[in-house]
Amino acid sequence: QVQLVESGGGLVQAGDSLRLSCAASGRTFSFYGMAWFRQAPGKEREFVAAITWSGSTYYADSVKGRFTISRDNAKNTVYLQMSSLKFEDTAVYYCAARRRESAYYSGSSYDYWGQGTQVTVSS
């Protein structure tokens, strides 16, 4: 059984920074990659950032240059460092993991999901 647990969300002001964590447990050795998605109220879930087992990283254009995804294999944890936060970054952020090489930007590629953590950016 695989479990993903996000933490680190909160209320911040525009321009602030925040770091999200996603702790994975279970059969984590089977992961090909992990990612962060987000969903704002009334909007569809969207891709934010992804990292593969080899360390390759990918970002949505809207966060490129402001967000950084990283991992600590020893802790089975993936991080999302968010800087220069904007009001439009407000959303529930979800961690996800996939077992196969597939479209990193598509939610349907991911086999496991966390429960989400709320990030609210005040303008």
CA distance linking residue 113 with residue 88, whole number of Å:
23
What does each C-alpha distance from 81 to 29, 44, 73, 78 come to in angstroms? Answer: 23, 22, 17, 10
pLDDT of residue 1: 83
- Listing DSSP states for 5-40 in one string gives EEE--EEEETT--EEEEEEEESSGGG-SEEEEEEE-
| % of the chain residues with pLDDT over 70 | 100
CA distance linking residue 114 with residue 123, whole number of Å:
27
pLDDT confidence tier of residue 9, bands split at 50, 70 and 90 = very high
pLDDT digits (tens, 9 = 90+) for 19-68: 999 999 987 777 889 999 999 999 999 999 999 988 999 999 999 999 99
State CA 7 to chain mean position distance.
Answer: 11
Mean pLDDT score, 73-80 = 92
